Structure 1
Amino acid sequence: METCEEKVSIDLRRVLLSIAQALDDVGFDTLHHSHRVGYMAYRCALRMGWDQELAQLSFAAGLVHDCGSTQHSALMTFAATRRPGSFARHCEKGFNLLSACGPLSRFALPILYHHTAWYELQTLAMDSHDKQIAGLIYLANRVDHLYFHQHKDLFGNLSAAGKRQIIEQLQAHSGTLFAADMVEVMADLVGNDDFWFSMHPQHIEAVLLRLEAAPLFSRNLNLNERIEIAELFSKIVDAKSPFTFQHSLKVALLSQFLAKKMGYSAKMQKLLYLAGLLHDIGKLRTPDFVLHKEGTLTAEEYTCIKRHATDTRFILQNIHTSSLVCDWASNHHERLDGSGYPLGKTAQELDGPSRIVAVADVFQALTQSRPYRQGMSLEESLNIIAEQVANHQLDGDVFACLQHNAEHCYWLSADENEVGLQSAVG
């Protein structure tokens, strides 16, 4: 029986915060770096007299500016610009990720150029607002890295000397790397205690969530746009581990395909795709050494792994209004006999969509090749799932659909051509 098709909506401000938090969890940069860059940019924009919409766009761009990061940017040289082998790679990756995500595509160009010197930005044929945002994010990003390397006192606060050193570094590049008017205003902020006392992530999040309405954040996103945001998240999740490369996408495609074959409506198929994309978002908080371990997990490590399903539930509840999508995503390790985790739900508590995502997740994990082992064959994978069905852990009807379409499901799960896979289902 098909589950009620409830309305799905999201809070775009909370999405931006979740992306910043995801980048913290992936560990590409210093903790809460994206929060601070966004807040610094916002405070500076307001002080320069920018209107509220442009200031909020700067805040948002700061929160997502490192979505393409692949290395610790604090290790980069101070004067580096967008050149191959330095910042170019993560700027371009961020540009591509955001360009493919309609609701956040507004930030693609500023993120592409957020490590480009101000004097170079002036030569580019791009919107003046994009130049301003890119230049401001470059400046705020550099202030945060300078702050990170400054000595702090016993209570974690900057000394007067530390503030002067940051200001001197900025002024040394005023009018070249950074816009002179931005440096002047940012220098005033750097010298102000309240500016630094406000940097606590909870304060920054409170500021963002209290901002007045702005066009970007007031839009009602359609289901396809919400899926684009989920695809962005899935790419951030999968970038954390080579073992899970494309895993989220393939679980989504399998869930969508099985739902279609089992007679679910077109909207429900998309909602299952959405749940599949997001089912492992909680793994962002799983330590790398546990997530990447090749051998048998210890009892403590297995407990650590299990919490990702709970983390998934809470992360999604903070973004999505749909309790069903949150349930389907976070139920993927629950089992019909109550032996699953994290809640130990039983058959009476697991609806059809939850059962579909669970089977898709197991099948994809079995058939996926990893650096330390080859993916299992179709026959081996089906035999293992058949045993779990016989033990009343996985759903027999979903498994029957998987068996009936086994060759196609195996291709969806094991093929590495992302574009071909999406067109084959969509």
Structure 2
Amino acid sequence: MRKVKLRTIYPLTENLLEQLAAKDKTTYLHSLHVAEVASLLAREMGFVGEERALYEAGLLHDIGKLYVPQELLFTRRVFSSIERLEMQKHVSYTYAILTYHNYPHTLAEICFQHHERLDGSGYPRGLRGEAITLEGRILAVADVFAALISPRPYRGALSPRQAVEILHQEVLRGRLAMEVVAALVRKLDECCVLCGKHE
């Protein structure tokens, strides 16, 4: 795999990502894409001071998948309810890894929130509204977008326009932050390039 130049803050991050790449190349590449998109969205929204933290959080948000069984990571079928709960544990694993390695609490918390949703339907804590930080909201949108436009074992990649339509639906359902999705739409072409995809 080609060596990627990372803008990491913490030296351990590269080592953790190397472990992730060895186990699951798809999640590794997804993490690189999420990091780039999240930091771009922070800049676009005027939160320049948050850019580096969001980049690092994007790199690390799925690091807990190191502890998810490989048969779940690579399955091509719909998860059973038990399997879905097992996969969802990756968020808690991520938080535990970052806490164990003494990453800042604020960084671990951003990662912990990337599957939370504004209407309380997310996991692992079912946070709602203002309980989800701005950084958590940005990371959630970057995560969903990067996942949608990339192929997965169980489906092909969606087009950027299809991905944006899904993001808009999630905003209408009260799940994702409207202002973050609006920022992504303004920077759609750049986000696509960062994810290795072109319109």
Regarding TM over 0.5, the answer is yes
CA contact (8 A) 2:8 2:14 kept: no
Q: Return the alpha-carbon distance in structure 1 between the equivalents of residues 21 and 132 of structure 2.
A: 26
Query: Which amino acid letter does the alignment assign opposite residue 345 of structure 1?
Result: L
Q: Where does 1:63-212 land on structure 2 (aligned, <5 Å)? A: none
Partner of 2:63: 281
Alignment match of 2:145 (pick from 363, 385, 406): 363
For 1:309 and 1:224, how far apart are their aligned partners in 2? 21
Counterpart for residue 177 of structure 2? 395
Cα displacement (A) at 1:301: 0.5
> What secondary structure does 2:125 align onto?
coil
The match for 1:261 among 44, 51, 63 is 44
- Gapped runs of 5+ residues in structure 1? 1-92, 102-222, 417-426
Larger Rg: 1
Q: Which residue of 2 aligns with 1:162?
A: none
Higher relative contact order by CA 8 Å / sep ≥ 6: 1 or 2?
2
1:378 pairs, out of 150, 160, 166, with 160
Matched, 1:232 2:15: yes
1:337 aligns with 2:119: yes
- Residue number in structure 1 paired with 2:78: 296
| Alpha-carbon separation, structure 2, partners of 1:235 and 1:368 | 20
8 Å CA contact 1:317–1:323 kept in 2: the answer is: yes
Aligned residues: 197
CA–CA distance in 2 between the matches of 1:257 and 1:307? 28
1:311-360, CA deviations, whole angstroms, 9 ceiling, x for partnerless residues?
Answer: 11111111234211001112111101110011111112111111000000
Give the Å deviation of 1:241.
Answer: 1.9
Match of 1:71 in 2: none
Are the counterparts in 2 of residues 235 and 246 from structure 1 also a CA contact under 8 Å? no
> Which residue identity is paired with 1:354?
G
Which letter maps to 2:160?
A: L
Show the counterpart of 1:249: 32
Q: Does structure 1 retain, via aligned residues, the 8 Å contact 2:117–2:127? A: yes
Q: Which residue of structure 2 lines up, in the alignment, with residue 310 of structure 1?
A: 92
Helix, strand or coil for the counterpart of 2:47? coil
Distance 2:86 2:191 in 1: 30
TM-score, scaled to structure 1: 0.44
Asked if 1 retains the 8 angstrom alpha-carbon contact of 2:171 and 2:178, the reply is: yes
Distance 1:371 1:302, change over 3 A: closer
Paired amino acid for 2:122: G
Gap runs ≥5 in structure 2: none
Between the aligned partners of 2:117 and 2:61, the Cα distance in structure 1 is 15
Structure 1 stretches of at least 4 aligned residues deviating more than 3 Å after TM superposition: 370-373
Q: State the partner residue of 1:76.
A: none
Q: Distance in 2 between matches of 1:402 and 1:252?
A: 14
Matched residues in 1 for 2:194 and 2:143: separation?
A: 12
2-structure distance, mates of 1:323, 1:339: 24
Residues 374, 313 of structure 1: CA spacing in aligned structure 2 closer, same or farther, 3 A cutoff? Answer: same
Q: Deviations over 1:40-91 (max 9, x none)?
A: xxxxxxxxxxxxxxxxxxxxxxxxxxxxxxxxxxxxxxxxxxxxxxxxxxxx
* CA displacement at 1:372 relative to structure 2: 5.3
Per the TM alignment, residue 374 of structure 1 is displaced from its structure 2 partner at its CA by: 2.7
- Residue 326 of structure 1 is matched in structure 2 by 108
